[in-house]
């Protein structure tokens, strides 16, 4: 059964008003904004660590390894 012209118009108007209400609804907007900020910060942290990861491994961990090896040999003497 096809809806009558008035019913169809009423359905379109109802759907339009619900959509407008959805666009005006600001509940949860702050949580979404914080979520986007946290996501962007996470991406920035990962990108930074990926770009300087080799440098950190080679310099700092190399120094720590050398210090631990020399401490181990000093105790053996």
- How far is the C-alpha of 44 from the C-alpha of 5, rounded, in Å? 55
Write out pLDDT tens, residues 43-72.
999 999 888 888 877 888 888 888 888 887
pTM: 0.45
Question: pLDDT at residue 76 above 70?
Answer: no
Q: Which letter does DSSP use for residue 57 in this model?
A: I
- How far is the C-alpha of 51 from the C-alpha of 72, rounded, in Å? 33
- How far is the C-alpha of 67 from the C-alpha of 73, rounded, in Å? 10
- How far is the C-alpha of 76 from the C-alpha of 70, rounded, in Å? 10
Write out pLDDT tens, residues 15-39.
888 888 878 877 777 888 999 999 9
- How far is the C-alpha of 23 from the C-alpha of 17, rounded, in Å? 10
Query: Where are the domains positioned within the chain?
Result: 5-76
């Amino acid at each position: 059964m096809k809806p009558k012209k008035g019913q169809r118009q009423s359905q379109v108007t109802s759907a339009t008003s619900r959509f407008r209400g959805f666009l005006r609804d600001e509940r949860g907007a702050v949580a979404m904004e914080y979520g986007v900020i946290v996501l962007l910060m996470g991406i920035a942290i990962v990108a930074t660590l990926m770009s300087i990861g080799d440098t950190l491994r080679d310099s700092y961990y190399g120094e720590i390894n050398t210090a631990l090896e020399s401490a181990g040999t000093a105790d053996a003497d």
